[in-house]
Structure 1
C-alpha cells in the first residue's frame, strides 16, 4: 500500500494557483493537494471555493510547515523569499520544490543549498523546460559526443513579450526591491538554466549590455545582449527581451562535428561528414568546406504540461521511484549567469566567473536604495492566468 505525498503550496499567485489546480485534479500520481498558504485572504477564499474543505488554508507559511498536514511544499512566492521559505520548510523536515529563480542573488542561494544538503530532504526547482523533449535531445547529442567539442552557443530568445499591464499587475513586479531584476530574473531563468544544462558548460567570463525600462515604465532590465567565453575556447551570445513583437526563439550550438539548431519546436542537425578539425588538417584544395548533411532529428512527444511533469518527477524522487531531474542546488548556476550579466552592465566591464557574490550584493543594494519606483510592495496584485506561458 502506497501513501500519497501531502503537498502544500506557499503563495497562490499566478504560478501557485496553476500548480494547485492540477494537483487538486489528481494529475500527479502519488501526490495530493493538502494545504495552501497565502497572506491575502481573497486568495484563500478562492482556494476554499475551488477546492473545498479537504484542502487546509493558512495565512502563514510557517503555520502550515508546522501543522503536520503536509509532507512537502511548492514555494511560489516572490523571488526574494524563495531561499528564506525553502530553508524554513527544510528545517521543518519537509521536502521542497521551489519556483524559479532559486533566489535573487547567489549569496543567499548558497546558504539555501547548504541547508538543503544538511536536511536529508528532496529539494527540487521548477525548471520545467528541462522536460522539453527538444532540449533533452540536444543535451543527449552533446553528451554522447555526436556534436563533438562545443565551439559556439548562440541563443536569441525574444519571445517573452510582456505588456505594461503585465508589469502593473503586482506592486513587486519590475522593481529592484520587489523582484530583484527583470527579464533575467523572471522570464529567462529557464533559458539560462538550459544554456548551461544542455551544453554542460559554464562561462569563464561575461560581458553584457542591458536596456533598463526600454519601451516600458519599469526600472529593471528588459532587453539584454551578452557575450560569454569558455575555458575550452568556445564563445556564446545570449540575447533576450520582453519588448519584441513578434519575438524569436532560436538556439544554435556549433561543434566540431556540425551544428544543432532548435527553432519552432524542431531540431535540425547540420552534420559534417568529416569533423571540421580533421577536414582543416587534411584538405589541400584551398576554397572548400566539409560535406554537410541536413538531418531533421526526430523529437519524441513530451508531457504537454511541463510544470506538472516536474512536480511528478519530484514526487517520484521522494518515493524513490526515479532520480530527481531538476535538483534545487543547480538553480545557482543560471542565477550566477543572470547576476554576472547585470553586474557587467552596471560596472560597464567584464565579469569573471565564479561570480564575486559580495560585489553583486553591494551593487544590487545600491540600486534598491536609489530606486524611484515608488510602488507599494505589499499591494495586492492581480492573479493572472499562466496558461500558454512557459
Structure 2
C-alpha cells in the first residue's frame, strides 16, 4: 500500500476540521476518499467542499464499500466503540476521536476486538504532541524527578449556560454520558496517567448542575492513591473564571510545575529522603533547591494533524503510535471511577467494575436516581 484511503465518519465541528487538513493533502501518504454523516445538510456541505469525495449516509455501507483502507470516527461519544468494532472486523485500520467511549464495558469489548486484529488502531489524544507534556513525561520516566510523592492538577474551563443550551444532547447522561470529566477533561486525565501512571483507587466528590441547569457534573474534586503510596488531587469545573490550568508533580528529587505553557523544575540538590535521613543539624532546614526553567520547543506540537500523520505512518511504515487506541481506556477508567465514587459515596478501586458502572449509568439515563 502506497496511499491510505481515509473514510471520515462524522462531518460535524471536529469532523470537518479533520476533513480540512486531509482534504488539503497535509497528511503525507493519505487521501480523503469518503465522508459519512446521517445529516443531509452536512452531506450537501461536504459535496460542495470536497466534490471528488464519495459520500455515505450509513457508516456500514462506507465500511463495506471497498473505497477505504482506514476509517476516522468523529461522532458522538457513545458511537465510537461500535463503529470501531465494525471497521476492525471488516479489516480496516481505525482512528477514533476521544473519548474511547463513555463506559469501560464497551471499551473493553472494543479493545478485545482490536487486540485480535492486525490493523492499526489509534486515538486522537493530540495533547500528547505538546512539547511541554512530552518533556514532563521524559523527566518523570527518566528518573530525574525521583519517585513520585504527590500530583496535583487544577484545570478549570468556563462555560456559560448558553453553551449547554445550544444542543439538547449536551450535558446529559444519554447524550454525552458525563459533564466536565468526560467532555472537557479527556486530555488532562489521559496526560495525568500518561506522565504519572495509573492510580489504584479514587475518592471523588462530583456536583451535578451546581452552577448550571444541567444533569451532569460541572464541579469536581477528586483524591487518588497510587500503588507506591503517592497521592494526587484533581480539581476541575466549568464555572470558574478566570480559568486555571496548573499541573504539579512532586517527587523525591524536586517538583515540576506546568502553567502558562511553561515547565519549571524545582530541583533538589540532595533527594528529600536522603536529606531527611542524613541531616542532623537539630533545627528547621531543607535541601538546597535550584529553580530551573526547562527549555521546550515553542508551540503546542502538531496536534490533530501530527496524530493523524503518525497513524498513517504506522500503517505504511510500521511507525510506533504516539496514542494507541487501546490506551484510550486509561483516562476513561479514571473518570468512570470518579463518577462511580460520587454515586456510591465511597472509595472505588481501579480498574472499575464495568458492569456496576454500566448499571449505575443506565439508572442515571433513565432517571432512577
The bucket for the TM-score relative to the shorter chain is over 0.9
Contact 1:183–1:223 (CA under 8 A) maintained in structure 2:
yes
Mapped to 1, the partners of 2:115 and 2:268 lie a distance apart of: 43
2:192 corresponding residue in structure 1: 195
1:51 corresponding residue in structure 2: 50
CA deviation profile, 1:330-376 (whole Å, cap 9, x unmatched): 0111000000000111111111122111111111011111179xxxx
What are the within-5 Å matches in structure 2 for residues 362-377 of structure 1?
A: 362-370=359-367
Which of these residues, 164, 171, 181, is aligned with residue 161 of structure 2? 164
CA deviation profile, 1:50-108 (whole Å, cap 9, x unmatched): 111x1111000011101111111110111111100000011111110101110000011
Which of these residues, 327, 331, 335, is aligned with residue 334 of structure 1? 331
2:250 corresponding residue in structure 1: 254
Report which stretch shifted further, 355-364 or 167-176. Answer: 167-176
Mapped to 2, the partners of 1:171 and 1:66 lie a distance apart of: 32
Does residue 1:15 correspond to 2:14, yes or no? Answer: yes
Describe the SS at the equivalent of 2:119.
coil
Which of these residues, 98, 101, 111, is aligned with residue 100 of structure 1? 98
Does residue 1:266 correspond to 2:266, yes or no? Answer: no
CA deviation profile, 1:152-195 (whole Å, cap 9, x unmatched): 0000011x222223222322221101111011111111110111
Describe the SS at the equivalent of 2:136.
helix
Does residue 1:155 correspond to 2:153, yes or no? Answer: yes
Give the CA deviation at 1:214: 2.2
CA deviation profile, 1:189-242 (whole Å, cap 9, x unmatched): 11101110011x211110011111122121011111100011101000001111
Q: Normalising by structure 2, what TM-score?
A: 0.97
Which of these residues, 231, 235, 255, is aligned with residue 235 of structure 1? 231
Contact 1:251–1:262 (CA under 8 A) maintained in structure 2:
yes
Mapped to 1, the partners of 2:11 and 2:146 lie a distance apart of: 45
Report which stretch shifted further, 208-217 or 231-240. Answer: 208-217
1:245 corresponding residue in structure 2: 241
Which of these residues, 57, 77, 80, is aligned with residue 79 of structure 1? 77
Describe the SS at the equivalent of 1:370.
coil
Aligned-residue Cα RMSD (Å) equals 1.3
4+ aligned runs moved over 4 Å, structure 1: 302-305
Does residue 1:313 correspond to 2:307, yes or no? Answer: no
2:295 corresponding residue in structure 1: 298
Describe the SS at the equivalent of 2:134.
helix
1:387 corresponding residue in structure 2: none
1:377 corresponding residue in structure 2: none
Mapped to 1, the partners of 2:302 and 2:47 lie a distance apart of: 24
1:323 corresponding residue in structure 2: 320
Describe the SS at the equivalent of 2:239.
coil
Relative distance call for 1:49 and 1:304 in structure 2 (3 A) is: farther
Which of these residues, 192, 209, 225, is aligned with residue 213 of structure 1? 209
Give the CA deviation at 1:318: 0.9
Which of these residues, 347, 352, 356, is aligned with residue 349 of structure 2? 352
Which structure 1 residue ranges, 5 or more long, are not aligned? 373-390
Q: Normalising by structure 1, what TM-score?
A: 0.92
Describe the SS at the equivalent of 1:32.
strand
Mapped to 1, the partners of 2:211 and 2:302 lie a distance apart of: 32
Contact 1:39–1:59 (CA under 8 A) maintained in structure 2:
yes
Describe the SS at the equivalent of 2:100.
coil
Mapped to 2, the partners of 1:16 and 1:181 lie a distance apart of: 21
Mapped to 1, the partners of 2:234 and 2:140 lie a distance apart of: 19
Describe the SS at the equivalent of 2:172.
coil
Contact 2:253–2:268 (CA under 8 A) maintained in structure 1:
yes
Report which stretch shifted further, 18-27 or 313-322. Answer: 313-322
